[in-house]
Each structure stands twice: as structure tokens, then as C-alpha cells.
Amino acid sequence: MNEARAAARYAKAILDFAVEKKKTDILEKDMRSIVETIGGSRELKEMLASPVLKGEMKKKALLSVFKGSDAITEGLFDLLLQNKRINLLNEVALKYIILNEDLKGEGVAFVTTAVPLSGELEKKVLKEVSKLTGNKIVVKNKVDKSIVGGFILRVGDLQYDASISNKLNTIKREFTKSI
């Protein structure tokens, strides 16, 4: 099974359980903590992906790093360890956040640009994305000079790449195919 699909299924199951227990916001806080921590720690990523370390060692490390997490979050650790899918933890947490925001009618639009968005342009992006999704949206701007110009918009699982670097790569592929 595709890892992204597997992560989405785990996230959906955890969200359903959290809704039943009325703990969606508590779990979202835990999932955001997981995403931040794993995203900022190369060692933690490597530990989770390591086939050499036993599940019990990984579990102890996770419980230590995420001390104070809800019992449902700890149950997720157990479930992923039992199914030998603990390497999907970060992806499951990301999917949970997206699904929970959709459930609340909220969302985050990530806009990657070569230069920071002006206030006026950010308002235009916010208005258009809100129209498209029908949800309350928050725009987060990331600056990446490697895209040269244009933008990359990501809302949930959807991505629209209108960057100059993407267009140049497309032209390069078409040119090499025609030779």
C-alpha cells in the first residue's frame, strides 16, 4: 500500500476515535507537537526509520520525547509500532491536522514565493483560496529563492506549482524529448 494512503487511513481512524471521545483539539495539539519535533530533529527521523532499533526502544524514546501526550496519541505510537509503520508517524500527524482543520471548516494555505508576499497580495491569495475551498483559510508564506519567481500554492493535499523554476524544468524536459 502507498505510504501516503496508509498514513491517511491511520489519521482518519485516529480522528474518528478522537471525535468519539471529544478530544480532537487535544490530539491536534499533540500532532502539531509531533510534526514540529520530528521536522526539527534529523536524529529522531533516523531513529524512527531505523530497522536496527527494536520497537520497545523506539516506544520508550517517543514516550520520553512526547511526555504528557494524550492516551490516544500514545495508543497511536503502539499501533504504528505493532504494524511496523512507526516511520509514518510524522505523515500521520500531518494528515490528522489537515483532516481536523477540514472538519472544523478551517485550513492553511502554504504559499511559497521567491520574495515575501505583500499585504495586498496576501489578501488576494486568501480571498481566492477561500472561494475555492469554501473554508476559512490562513495563509502562511514561505520564501524560497530557488523557485526564481511565481509561486507554489499548497492547500491540504492539493498543490499548484506556478513557479518559474517548474516552468523552466518543463521546457527543459520537452526540449530533451524532442532531440
What is the maximum alpha-carbon separation in the chain? 61
State CA 171 to chain mean position distance.
30
Distance CA 29, CA 6 (A): 22
**Cβ pair 73, 35 in contact under 8 A:** no
Distance CA 68, CA 34 (A): 12
Whether this prediction's pTM lies above 0.75 is answered by no
Contacts of 7 (CB under 8 A, 6+ apart): 88, 91, 92, 94, 95
Hey, what domains does the chain have and what are their CATH numbers?
3-101 (1.10.520.20), 106-178 (no CATH)
pLDDT for the residue 1: 52
Contacts of 161 (CB under 8 A, 6+ apart): 152
Per-residue pLDDT of the chain (179 residues; tens, 9 = 90+): 578 889 999 999 999 999 999 999 999 999 999 999 998 888 999 999 998 989 899 999 999 999 999 999 999 999 999 999 999 999 999 899 888 887 887 777 888 999 998 889 888 888 888 887 777 788 888 888 889 888 898 887 788 888 998 899 999 999 899 87
pLDDT for the residue 88: 92
pLDDT for the residue 26: 93
pLDDT for the residue 15: 93
Contacts of 106 (CB under 8 A, 6+ apart): 135, 136, 137, 138
